Amino acid sequence: MKKIIKNGVIVTATDTYKADILIENETIMQIGENIQESSAEVVDAKGHYIFPGAIDPHTHLDMPFGGTVTKDDFETGTKAAAFGGTTTIVDFCLTTKGKSLSSAVEAWHHKSKNKAVIDYGFHLQIVESSDAVLAEIPKMVEEEGITSLKVFMAYKNQFQADDETLYKTLLAAKELGALVMVHAENGDVIDYLVKDALAKGNTDPIYHALTRPPEAEAEATGRAATLTGLAGSQLYVVHVSCADAAKKIAEARSRGIDIWGETCPQYLVLDQTYLEKPDFEGAKYVWSPPLREKWNQDHLWNALKTGQLQTLGSDQCSFDFVGQKDLGKGDFSKIPNGGPLIEDRVSILYSEGVKKGRISLNQFVEITSTRAAKLFGLYPKKGTIAVGADADLVIYDGNVERTLSAKTHHMAVDYNPFEGMKITGEPISVLSRGNFIIKDKQFVGEAGQGKFIKRAKYGETLEKMPTMI
Ligand code: URP
Ligand code: ZN
Ligand code: ZN
Ligand code: ZN
């Protein structure tokens, strides 16, 4: 099966140029001017960009959390991702104290297999540093291809790990060539502030933000960076929400620490005042870390532009407003944390970033795809448009104007945090390993066609491409 995508403008992290792309089965075979191949299906991309399929390094699908389970599973979540131009996700596999890592991975394979529409990998949570867990990590990295380990520094009495566990995970990661990821907030201090607020009768959603101050995020970020330096290891800080935390990352980088930072669309566009919306609507805007004062947004945009933050995750963690978010009526600490963003992540960055002149088109590709591919062992099969790479491609209309809404999105939840937001740009067609999964804005994929990817170690490439052998 051959396809030629003609007349599009190819955009990678480094180049923008007009060329045709010849695809054979799953792979890009040729890129050039005026490619002719009589047996190929011809797709005209005139007037459109062609981006490498976006990579979402941060999703929570079918995940039990906050007394409920995220609404989007691997089928609805990856389908929505595809509509948004994302062709690979890396989802967080949760583990349980006292249980084996392999049982957790097995459970996550069970959730995703036969459901995912796009390719996927797993990050593995490390919640304790028992001898049994430490002994199992090498197999996860070396054999299971799970080359990133996640430590939560917050969510006390639930996901939170102590500094000993973080440090031992950093040492193991250094030894094995894995990347440690942290949710950086000081969970102990937050736990105190939450209890104090509730004791004073402060129960509204806004207190979620007020009990998780920027200091708690910056302190944990700085601590994790320092421990990474001490271990000589490598660290990726997820969902950086504020200037103070971004500065800790920049400062650590300037000291030569191998540290990377991710932010998310909500922190670039929304602010703390959304949590004050009446009729409990503020619950729709409960994330951890929380939305911040608006002035932080300029700092985050500049950090993306200057490379102090390098990636954008969706932190997809969706709950219905009715029936799930409302578990926290009368007690903000019971509002399930998280929101639906897997679908709109890419288009928000294009519209708010490229169209508003904050980042270049090539930076947009780097931030939504290439950098994540390199950090998480997917490059160069994923994350770029090159001969030998997987034909994961997005044909993108860079000029169409549209309005984000729960009425038109494909996520399984009953609200969209960006409801009514006017944006420019939309994926028209999306290919996953050479197959259309979205064609002319219609879903034509199949549940189960997405493959689990055993990822390369930190700093290594996934597979030598045919032309490089
Ligand atoms: O509020 C959030 N971020 N929910 C998802 C879980 C996490 O901490 O990433
Ligand atoms: Zn988190
Ligand atoms: Zn998350
Ligand atoms: Zn068009």
Residue nearest to atom 9 of ligand 1 (CA): 315
Q: Collapsing DSSP states into helix, strand and coil, what is residue 57?
A: strand
Q: Is the CB of 183 under 6 A from ligand 1?
A: yes
Amino acid type, 189 = V
Token couple for 173: 């990661």
User: Does the CB atom of residue 153 touch ligand 1 within 6 A?
Assistant: no
**ipTM above 0.90 for this complex:** yes
User: What DSSP letter does each residue of 121-188 carry, written as one string?
Assistant: EEEEE-----HHHHHHHHHHHHTS---EEEEES-STTTTB--HHHHHHHHHHHHHHT-EEEEE-S-HH
Instruction: Check residue 358 and give left, alpha or beta (phi > 0: left; psi -120 to 50: alpha).
Output: alpha
Does ligand 1 come within 6 angstroms of the Cβ of 287? Answer: yes
Smallest Cα–Cα separation from 95: which of 57, 150, 47? 150
- Give the 3-state secondary structure of 381-417: CCCCCCCCCECCEEEEEEEEEEECCCCCCCCCCCCCC
Displacement of CA 256 from its chain's centroid (Å): 25
Identify which ligand lies nearest to the alpha carbon of 315. 3
Cα Rg, the chain, nearest whole Å: 21
Dihedral of alpha carbons 157, 158, 162, 165, sign: positive
Ligand 1 contacts CB of residue 337 (under 6 A): yes
CA of 47 to the centre of ligand 4 (A): 6
pLDDT for residue 155:
98
94 within ligand 1 shell (Cβ under 6 A): no
- pTM of the predicted structure, to 2 decimals: 0.98
Nearest ligand to the C-alpha atom of residue 212: 1
> How close is the Cα of 49 to the center of ligand 4, in Å?
10
Nearest atom in ligand 1 to 337's CA: 1
Distance 211 CA to ligand 2 centre (A): 16
Residue position matching structure tokens 């995220």 = 70
Q: What is the chain's mean pLDDT, rounded?
A: 97
**Model confidence over 271-330: pLDDT tens digits?**
999 999 999 999 999 999 999 999 999 999 999 999 999 999 999 999 999 999 999 999
| Domain annotation for the chain: domains and CATH numbers | 2-51+383-468 (2.30.40.10), 53-313+327-343 (3.20.20.140)
Cβ-proximal residues to 108 (8 Å cutoff; 6+ apart), any chain: 91, 93, 94, 122
Would you state the pLDDT for residue 463? Answer: 78
CB of 60 within 6 A of ligand 1: the answer is yes
User: How many Cβ atoms are within 10 Å of 192's Cβ, its own excluded?
Assistant: 13
As averages over each run of 10 residues, the pLDDT of the chain (469 residues) reads 97 98 97 96 98 99 97 98 99 98 98 98 98 98 98 98 98 98 99 98 98 99 98 98 99 98 99 98 98 98 98 99 98 98 99 98 98 98 97 98 98 98 98 98 98 97 64
Does the beta carbon of 290 sit less than 6 angstroms from any atom of ligand 1? no
